[in-house]
Chains A and B, each alone.
Chain A
Amino acid sequence: MSVFTKIYSAPEFNKSEILRYAGTKEASEQTSELLESCLNECSGVFSYKVCFAEEKLIINGGTISMGSIKTDSKALLKNLDGCERAVIFASTVGLGIDRLIFKYSSVSPSRALMFQAIGAERIEALCDMFSAEICEKYAAEGLYITPRFSPGYGDFSVDAQKDFFGLLDCPRKIGLSLNESLIMTPTKSVTAVIGISEKAQKKSNSCEACTLDGCAYKKRK
Chain B
Amino acid sequence: MDIRDYLKENILFLDGGMGTLLQEKGLKPGELPEMWNMSHSDIIRDIHKAYFDAGANVVNTNTFGANPFKFDDALLKEIIRNAVKNARAAADMSENTGEKFVALDIGPTGKMLKPYGDLDFEDAVRAFAKVVRIGEKSGVDLIFIETMNDCLETKAALLAAKENCGLPVFVSNAYGEDGKLMTGASPEAMTAMLEGMGADAIGMNCSLGPDSLAPVVERMLAVSSVPVILKPNAGLPKSVNGKTVYDVLPVDFAESVLKLIKSGVRIAGGCCGTTPEYIKALKNITAGLKPKEISYKNLSCVSSYTHTVYFGKSPVLIGERINPTGKKRFKEALKNNEINYILGEGINQQEKGVHILDVNVGLPEIDEAETLVKTVTELQAVTNLPLQIDTSDTLAMEKALRRYNGKAMVNSVNGKKESMEKIFPLIKKYGGFVVALTLDENGIPQSAEGRLAIAEKILKTAESCGIAKKDIIFDPLAMAVSADKNAAAATLEAVRLITERLGANTVLGVSNISFGLPERDAINSCFFTAALENGLSAAIMNPYSERMLASYYSFRALHGLDENFTDYINFMQSTAEKKPDGSAEKTELTLCRAIEKGFKEDAGSITKELLKSEEPLDIVNTHIIPALDTVGKGFEEKRIYLPQLLMSAEAAQSAFGVIKEKMSSDGGKVKCDFVIATVHGDIHDIGKNIVKLLLENYGFNVTDLGKDVPPEVIEKKVIELHAPLVGLSALMTTTVPAMEKTIKLLKKSAPWCKTAVGGAVLTKEYASSIGADFYGRDAMETVRYAEKINACLEERNYDKFTR
Whether both chains belong to one complex is answered with yes
Q: Could you list which residues of chain A lie within 8 angstroms of chain B, going by C-beta atoms?
A: 1-5, 7, 22-28, 30-31, 34-35, 47, 53, 67-68, 94-96, 98-99, 101-103, 105-110, 112-114, 116, 152, 158, 163, 165-167, 171-172, 175, 177-183, 185-187, 214, 216
| Interface: B147 (CB within 8 A) | yes
Residues of B within 8 A of A158 (CB): 732-734
| Interface: B641 (CB within 8 A) | yes
User: When the two chains form the complex, which single residue of B108, B174, B641, B649 contacts A31, counting CB atoms closer than 8 Å?
Assistant: B641
A108 touches B382 (CB 8 A): no
A214 touches B116 (CB 8 A): no
Q: Which 7 A-B pairs give the minimum distances between C-beta atoms? A: A68-B30, A175-B182, A110-B646, A181-B681, A23-B642, A2-B244, A179-B118
A68 touches B147 (CB 8 A): no
Q: In whole Å, how far is B683's beta carbon from the nearest beta carbon of chain A?
A: 6
A163 touches B733 (CB 8 A): no
B29 touches A185 (CB 8 A): no
| Interface: B343 (CB within 8 A) | yes
**Closest B residue, CB atoms, query A100:** B382
Q: In whole Å, how far is A91's beta carbon from the nearest beta carbon of chain B?
A: 14
| Interface: B188 (CB within 8 A) | no
| Interface: B735 (CB within 8 A) | yes
Interface-forming stretch among B74-82, B523-531, B684-692?
A: B684-692
B682 touches A181 (CB 8 A): yes
Residues of B within 8 A of A114 (CB): 643
Q: In whole Å, how far is B62's beta carbon from the nearest beta carbon of chain A?
A: 15
Residues of A within 8 A of B690 (CB): 109, 113
User: Which residues of chain B from 210 to 259 have any CB-CB distance to chain A below 8 Å in the complex?
Assistant: 236-239, 244
Residue interface bits B639-654, CB-to-A below 8 A is 1, else 0:
0111110110110000
Q: In whole Å, how far is B737's beta carbon from the nearest beta carbon of chain A?
A: 10
A171 to B760, CA, bound (A): 27
Given A105-B685, A180-B118, also A28-B644 (CB < 8 A): yes
User: When the two chains form the complex, which single residue of A25, A30, A109 contacts B689, counting CB atoms closer than 8 Å?
Assistant: A109
**Closest B residue, CB atoms, query A67:** B29
A177 touches B28 (CB 8 A): no
A187 touches B684 (CB 8 A): yes
A175 touches B149 (CB 8 A): yes
Residue interface bits B574-611, CB-to-A below 8 A is 1, else 0:
00000000000000000000000110000000000000
Q: In whole Å, how far is B757's beta carbon from the nearest beta carbon of chain A?
A: 16
**Closest A residue, CB atoms, query B107:** A172
A156 to B135, CA, bound (A): 41
Among A5, A53, A110, A158, the most chain B Cβ lie within 10 Å of the Cβ of A110
A182 to B457, CA, bound (A): 55
Chain B residues touching A, range: 35 or more
User: Which residues of chain B from 172 to 192 have any CB-CB distance to chain A below 8 Å in the complex?
Assistant: 174, 176-178, 182-184
| Interface: B446 (CB within 8 A) | no
B147 touches A172 (CB 8 A): yes
A171 touches B644 (CB 8 A): no
User: When the two chains form the complex, which single residue of A24, A165, A171, A179 contacts B641, counting CB atoms closer than 8 Å?
Assistant: A24
Residues of A within 8 A of B110 (CB): 165, 171, 177-178
| Interface: B705 (CB within 8 A) | no
A116 touches B111 (CB 8 A): no
Residues of B within 8 A of A112 (CB): 686, 689
**Closest A residue, CB atoms, query B738:** A181
User: When the two chains form the complex, which single residue of A5, A23, A24, A106 contacts B340, counting CB atoms closer than 8 Å?
Assistant: A106
Among B29, B110, B177, B236, the most chain A Cβ lie within 10 Å of the Cβ of B29
B763 touches A214 (CB 8 A): yes
Given A34-B647, A175-B149, also A95-B29 (CB < 8 A): no
5 further A-B pairs in the complex, CB-CB below 8 A; given A110-B649, A166-B29: A34-B647, A102-B116, A102-B382, A106-B343, A183-B118
Q: In whole Å, how far is B157's beta carbon from the nearest beta carbon of chain A?
A: 14
A53 to B239, CA, bound (A): 11
Residues of B within 8 A of A107 (CB): 340, 343-344, 347, 382
Given A109-B689, A180-B118, also A31-B206 (CB < 8 A): no
A166 touches B178 (CB 8 A): no
| Interface: B453 (CB within 8 A) | no
User: Which residues of chain B from 338 to 359 have any CB-CB distance to chain A below 8 Å in the complex?
Assistant: 339-340, 343-344, 347
26 pairs of residues in contact across A and B, judged by CB atoms under 8 Å: A23-B641, A28-B640, A30-B598, A31-B641, A34-B647, A68-B30, A94-B182, A99-B116, A103-B382, A106-B382, A107-B343, A107-B347, A107-B382, A109-B690, A110-B598, A110-B649, A112-B686, A113-B642, A116-B686, A152-B733, A171-B149, A177-B110, A177-B112, A181-B682, A183-B681, A185-B117
Q: In whole Å, how far is A121's beta carbon from the nearest beta carbon of chain B?
A: 14
**Closest A residue, CB atoms, query B680:** A181
**Closest B residue, CB atoms, query A217:** B760
A25 to B115, CA, bound (A): 33
Given A24-B642, A177-B117, also A182-B734 (CB < 8 A): yes
Residues of A within 8 A of B792 (CB): none
B649 touches A109 (CB 8 A): yes
User: When the two chains form the complex, which single residue of B244, B638, B686 contacts A113, counting CB atoms closer than 8 Å?
Assistant: B686
B30 touches A101 (CB 8 A): no
User: When the two chains form the complex, which single residue of B30, B176, B649 contacts A166, counting CB atoms closer than 8 Å?
Assistant: B30
B244 touches A47 (CB 8 A): no
B641 touches A30 (CB 8 A): no
Residues of A within 8 A of B682 (CB): 181, 183
Q: In whole Å, how far is B505's beta carbon from the nearest beta carbon of chain A?
A: 30
A22 to B760, CA, bound (A): 13
A23 to B647, CA, bound (A): 14
Residues of B within 8 A of A95 (CB): 116, 182-184
**Closest B residue, CB atoms, query A94:** B182
Q: In whole Å, how far is A179's beta carbon from the nearest beta carbon of chain B?
A: 4
A31 touches B643 (CB 8 A): yes
B689 touches A106 (CB 8 A): yes
Residues of A within 8 A of B116 (CB): 95, 98-99, 102, 185-186
Given A109-B686, A175-B149, also A47-B178 (CB < 8 A): yes
